[in-house]
Chain A
Amino acid sequence: MSTTIEPESEKHALGQRMKRKEDPRFLQGRGRYLDDITLPGMLYLALVHSPYPHAKIVKIDKAAALAVDGVVAVLTGEDLAAHGLAWIPTFHGYDKQMVLCVGKALYQYQEVAGVIATSREAALDGAELVDVEYEPLDPVIDPFQAREDKTILRDDRENKTNHIYHWEVGKRAETDAALAAADVKINERVTFQRCHPAPLEPCGIVADMNGATGRLTLYLTSQAPHAHRTVVSLVTGIPEDKIHVVSPDIGGGFGNKVPVYPGYVVAAAASVVLGVPVKWVETRTENLTCTGFARDYHMDVEIGATKDGRVTALKVTTVADHGAFDTAADPTKYPAGLFGIVTGSYDFATAFTELDAYFTNKAPGGIAYRCSFRVTEASFAIERGMEMLARKLGLDPAELRLKNFVRKEQFPYPSPLGFVYDSGDYHTTLRKALDLIGYDDLRKEQAEKRARGELMGIGISTFTEAVGAGPSKHFDIMGIKMFDSAEIRVHPTGSAILRAGTKSQGQGHETTWAQIAAEELGLDPQNIIVEEGDTDTAPYGLGTYASRSTPTAGAAIAMASRKIRERARKIAAHLLEAAEDDVEWADYKFRVKGVPENAVTMQEVAFAAYTNPAPNTEPGLEATFYYDPPNLTFPYGAYVAVVDVDRETGFVKVRRFLAIDDCGTVINPMVVEGQIHGGLTEGFAIAFMQEIRYDESGNNLNTNFTEYLVPTSLETPRWETASTVTPSPHHPIGAKGVGESPNVGSPAAFVNAVMDALAPLGVTHLDMPLTREKVWRACREAATA
């Protein structure tokens, strides 16, 4: 049984299990994370938080805080308003966000004031003493309650309603008609609970306004440093050339480090006003209670099918909870992200989906946690829906899927909700999964166990996701198109420096980007240094999230490399004393066609570029490429989970989990496996133990790692991985990206497995997280029914 993803053919660098070049510094504690940065004269910022989910701010008394030894300043929303910084735009454009509370607090833990001091302890001591008088108001916690507009939460908005936006795509009338005419239908509410990406490194900033140079340097935990630079410029009016964003080593992002947070703005404002560096690093509690949460979608899934199991129509109706502000960093035209992927891997004749979003008194956000812009929610909805349909039809869930998959011949496949899937071979991948897991034997075992009253379940998830945002025709964030970029410069002695507009937070770009360039250029990947994150030197890009890096920057790297190769070919022709058209690139060399021993390496060409340039050509050897992808890419997979349920305690043991991923061309199988292991572990956590829950009074119940549960090495199952390879036809190296696939595909596999185990008891659906008590209760209720 394979637990590895096999390398590609014997290529020089692409497809090799190359050890990571970034590791030595991390292994020796020499990484440079945000909190490792200390500047002379630096002050520290601590934030004051509202204990109330909804309250008028009557008065803020700074006196006691200012009296604490070491406290330099106390800032409130009023102070920021004087500098035009009380509110900032959100990435999405549908809303704006308070920096510090202005008149009202809108969620528990919302940032009310900032205390700046000469030490962390003094800042905290001061924060404790800021005296805030609140007048509590009734909170609105449930989005269905918010929908009724009895209490309007955002009196700053023109339309006095808690409704933020409506979004829809597809054919409503045709779909409704098809559903009405269907032989068999399912209609179920499927909720994806609010959860949180919780990377181990919290968010932070060191803001450094240099009065002498007039430049504002922001060391920032940022997944998108250029976008942040542009936003800061637009918001503050400081010209972009005077702003320098440096994103250093980042200890995990998962979408948590995309938004702009109040702490960043307050620290930057404080640095500008005080003229000294100001550091803000959040606590874990602040991270979980204030920063961008994920999911919180309530989805009604309707699927219509013929009686022999051919699906005909899909309708998904969603209520989305964005919390107090819609800070979800979606592309402008996609307020619900790429939720339109909800038809999944299946060929629906017609489909329709609509969504309404609401404000509630909870932390703001929605887009995060490896979600590919809501693909996690969509994938969960369709995979749960298909599972429930299979049950209703009395069909094996694998059989139902094979019956309804988009067929290989149908690619590029235009989906009824507006995507054009680039490539896929769903049947092959699922069959490989069923074969490797021993599906038929497992079903036999299950039958035997069921006869003895034992609860064993097998769950399948065959997801297709959409990543690589995105083509400029459709995608922009705050107006900036979602291309990405690479700049490569080859040195005289044949090594190179590569800079990209993306920003790794653990995905291994220092290695994988070098592998792509090395493959294209015939250089040693060990001698291609990769840099990301410094806006002064890296070409403009939209950053790393939503699995976009390989589809966009990976392509840019290949294209920049090919530009270099074209220039190099001219130099090679000059060195080989041949006509340009007679020189070909083969076997990682330039050689004269028909005379292979007449060849030069890229290293020789590089040297010549500086010492012996061809006549009428520019010396040097470099290129930049800004890549505007022609389409998204559509990685997919087939996951199978096997579980055993202890009905006495509700404990679910994940006995086996097999993940077959198809992300097209694989750059580094070792890196891909690592991504799969990590994403499956996050999906496991979401399925069984994670949620950010607020009680009816608006109290956040999961404010630190004792309540927001991250599984340890002991709970986490062993993951089995394998792959199929269906290259993307439109990507220069056929790669699709894969980082989020495991989090997209796995929750449904886990839930489908548990529901399969509980099927004999008549249980049809349980919402995540599938805690022991939830499963125990379902078993008990079935027993007494």
Chain B
Amino acid sequence: MKISVRVNGKQYQREVEPRTLLAYFLRESLGLTGTHVGCDTSSCGCCVVVFDGDRAVKSCTAFAVQADGHEITTVEGLAQGGKLHPLQQAFWDCHGLQCGFCTPGMLMSSYALLAHQPSPSETQIREALAGNLCRCTGYQNIVKAVQQAAGELQQPAPAPEPEPVAS
């Protein structure tokens, strides 16, 4: 089946089998390996991407054909013009990642949360991230990071020197 999908602002046309899972389509057909696969029961959230700007979707529990005609944002689409998204910056500042495997999913679930709830309380953040598992951080610094990013997005500070993002 032919599908047409816009990912991180770029349009793609591809031929897929109906049973191709969206996560594998992103990773292997489009080479966007930032979206990860960590389980087989839709439990871990490492695969979360965002549909149409504000709907978090576990891409291991969706077929690529379902993405036809939609706009998808993956972790690779967060930074703009060489500048990290406030969520990415906040995760960095607050040590909200260790092995990094759950991080793309955490970022995208947080992104969808902030699209609907720009000033979430700590409890609301913990509730919103309860579909994403982490084995390294114990969540505490991730929650801090989302709080920082929410604050930043509400009242952006004057633009400082962009931090070098290449590593």
* A and B together in one complex: yes
Q: Which residues of B contact A679 (CB under 8 A)?
A: 138
Q: Which residues of chain A in 260-288 are interfacial with respect to chain B, using CB atoms and an 8 Å cutoff?
A: 283-285
Given contacts A21-B167, A23-B92, A677-B140, contact A714 B126 (CB under 8 A): yes
Q: Are A29 and B34 in contact (CB under 8 A)?
A: yes
Binds A, one of B51-59, B93-101, B151-159: B93-101
Q: Are A200 and B38 in contact (CB under 8 A)?
A: yes
Per the bound structure, the CA–CA distance linking A675 and B97 in Å amounts to 11
Shortest B99–chain A CB gap in Å is 3
Q: Are B38 and A284 in contact (CB under 8 A)?
A: yes
Q: Are B84 and A27 in contact (CB under 8 A)?
A: yes
Q: Which residues of chain A in 21-72 are interfacial with respect to chain B, using CB atoms and an 8 Å cutoff?
A: 21-31, 33, 35-36, 38
The verdict on B135 contacting chain A, using a C-beta distance below 8 Å, is yes
The verdict on B102 contacting chain A, using a C-beta distance below 8 Å, is yes
The verdict on B134 contacting chain A, using a C-beta distance below 8 Å, is yes
The verdict on B15 contacting chain A, using a C-beta distance below 8 Å, is no
Q: Which residues of A contact B150 (CB under 8 A)?
A: none
Per the bound structure, the CA–CA distance linking A673 and B166 in Å amounts to 26
Q: Are A26 and B97 in contact (CB under 8 A)?
A: yes
Q: Are A674 and B41 in contact (CB under 8 A)?
A: no
The verdict on A678 contacting chain B, using a C-beta distance below 8 Å, is yes
Q: Are A710 and B36 in contact (CB under 8 A)?
A: no
Q: Which residues of B contact A120 (CB under 8 A)?
A: 24
Of A670, A705, A716, the contact of B138 (CB 8 Å cutoff): A716
Mask, A112-155, CB within 8 Å of B = 1, is 00000000110000000000000000000000000000000000
The verdict on A202 contacting chain B, using a C-beta distance below 8 Å, is yes
The verdict on B35 contacting chain A, using a C-beta distance below 8 Å, is yes
The verdict on B141 contacting chain A, using a C-beta distance below 8 Å, is yes
Q: Are A36 and B33 in contact (CB under 8 A)?
A: yes
Q: Which residues of A contact B130 (CB under 8 A)?
A: 712-714
The verdict on A251 contacting chain B, using a C-beta distance below 8 Å, is yes
Shortest A681–chain B CB gap in Å is 4
The verdict on A198 contacting chain B, using a C-beta distance below 8 Å, is yes
Shortest A760–chain B CB gap in Å is 31
| Interface size, chain B (Cβ < 8 Å) | 60
Q: Are B167 and A25 in contact (CB under 8 A)?
A: yes
Q: Are B99 and A506 in contact (CB under 8 A)?
A: yes
Per the bound structure, the CA–CA distance linking A27 and B107 in Å amounts to 8
Of B97, B129, B142, the contact of A23 (CB 8 Å cutoff): B97
Q: Are A249 and B138 in contact (CB under 8 A)?
A: no
Given contacts A28-B76, A714-B130, contact A20 B95 (CB under 8 A): yes
Q: Which residues of chain B in 131-146 are interfacial with respect to chain A, using CB atoms and an 8 Å cutoff?
A: 131-143
Of A25, A26, A704, the contact of B40 (CB 8 Å cutoff): A704
Q: Which residues of B contact A254 (CB under 8 A)?
A: 135
Per the bound structure, the CA–CA distance linking A680 and B140 in Å amounts to 11
Q: Are B98 and A508 in contact (CB under 8 A)?
A: yes
Mask, B17-60, CB within 8 Å of A = 1, is 10100001001100011111111110110100000000000000
Of B93, B98, B129, B165, the contact of A713 (CB 8 Å cutoff): B129
Q: Which residue of A lies closest to B33 (CB)?
A: A36
The verdict on A406 contacting chain B, using a C-beta distance below 8 Å, is no
| Main secondary structure on B side of the interface with A | loop
Q: Are A705 and B39 in contact (CB under 8 A)?
A: yes
The verdict on A12 contacting chain B, using a C-beta distance below 8 Å, is no
Q: Which residue of B lies closest to A30 (CB)?
A: B34
The verdict on A449 contacting chain B, using a C-beta distance below 8 Å, is no
Per the bound structure, the CA–CA distance linking A250 and B136 in Å amounts to 12
Q: Which residues of chain B in 85-125 are interfacial with respect to chain A, using CB atoms and an 8 Å cutoff?
A: 88, 91-93, 95, 97-104, 107, 125
Q: Which residues of A contact B91 (CB under 8 A)?
A: 23, 27
Q: Which residue of B lies closest to A286 (CB)?
A: B40
Of B19, B34, B43, B164, the contact of A121 (CB 8 Å cutoff): B19
Q: Are B129 and A704 in contact (CB under 8 A)?
A: no
Q: Which residues of A contact B165 (CB under 8 A)?
A: 24, 28
Shortest A337–chain B CB gap in Å is 22
Q: Are A252 and B101 in contact (CB under 8 A)?
A: yes
The verdict on A656 contacting chain B, using a C-beta distance below 8 Å, is no
Output the residue of B107, B139, B141 with the most chain A CB within 10 A.
B139
Q: Are B95 and A714 in contact (CB under 8 A)?
A: no
Of A200, A680, A718, the contact of B99 (CB 8 Å cutoff): A200
Shortest B141–chain A CB gap in Å is 6
The verdict on B147 contacting chain A, using a C-beta distance below 8 Å, is no
Q: Which residues of B contact A252 (CB under 8 A)?
A: 99, 101, 135-136
Shortest A4–chain B CB gap in Å is 11
Shortest A178–chain B CB gap in Å is 41
Q: Which residues of A contact B107 (CB under 8 A)?
A: 27
Per the bound structure, the CA–CA distance linking A33 and B98 in Å amounts to 14
Per the bound structure, the CA–CA distance linking A507 and B41 in Å amounts to 27
Q: Which residues of B contact A251 (CB under 8 A)?
A: 36, 38, 99-102
Given contacts A678-B135, A719-B138, contact A706 B43 (CB under 8 A): yes
Q: Which residues of B contact A680 (CB under 8 A)?
A: 138
Shortest B61–chain A CB gap in Å is 13
Q: Which residues of A contact B76 (CB under 8 A)?
A: 28-30
Of B37, B44, B103, B127, the contact of A26 (CB 8 Å cutoff): B103
Shortest B135–chain A CB gap in Å is 5
Q: Which residues of chain A in 495-518 are interfacial with respect to chain B, using CB atoms and an 8 Å cutoff?
A: 505-508
Per the bound structure, the CA–CA distance linking A201 and B101 in Å amounts to 7
The verdict on A650 contacting chain B, using a C-beta distance below 8 Å, is no
Given contacts A28-B76, A29-B74, contact A705 B43 (CB under 8 A): yes
Q: Are A38 and B28 in contact (CB under 8 A)?
A: yes
Q: Are B41 and A704 in contact (CB under 8 A)?
A: yes
The verdict on A19 contacting chain B, using a C-beta distance below 8 Å, is yes
Q: Which residue of B lies closest to A3 (CB)?
A: B140
Given contacts A23-B91, A26-B103, A705-B44, contact A678 B98 (CB under 8 A): yes
Q: Are A710 and B95 in contact (CB under 8 A)?
A: no
Shortest A538–chain B CB gap in Å is 19
The verdict on A671 contacting chain B, using a C-beta distance below 8 Å, is yes
Per the bound structure, the CA–CA distance linking A747 and B50 in Å amounts to 37
The verdict on B67 contacting chain A, using a C-beta distance below 8 Å, is no
Q: Which residues of A contact B135 (CB under 8 A)?
A: 198-200, 252, 254, 678, 681-682, 710
Chain A residues in the interface with B (C-beta under 8 A): 19-31, 33, 35-36, 38, 120-121, 198-202, 249-252, 254, 283-285, 505-508, 670-671, 673-675, 677-682, 704-706, 710, 712-714, 716, 718-719
A-B contact list, 10 entries, CB within 8 Å? A28-B88, A200-B44, A200-B99, A251-B101, A674-B95, A678-B136, A678-B137, A704-B39, A705-B39, A714-B126
In the complex, besides A252-B136, A284-B41, 8 extra interface pairs with C-beta distance below 8 angstroms are A30-B34, A200-B99, A201-B38, A251-B38, A677-B140, A678-B134, A706-B41, A712-B139
The 10 closest A-B pairs by CB, nearest first: A29-B34, A251-B101, A26-B100, A506-B99, A677-B138, A705-B43, A506-B98, A681-B138, A29-B75, A36-B33
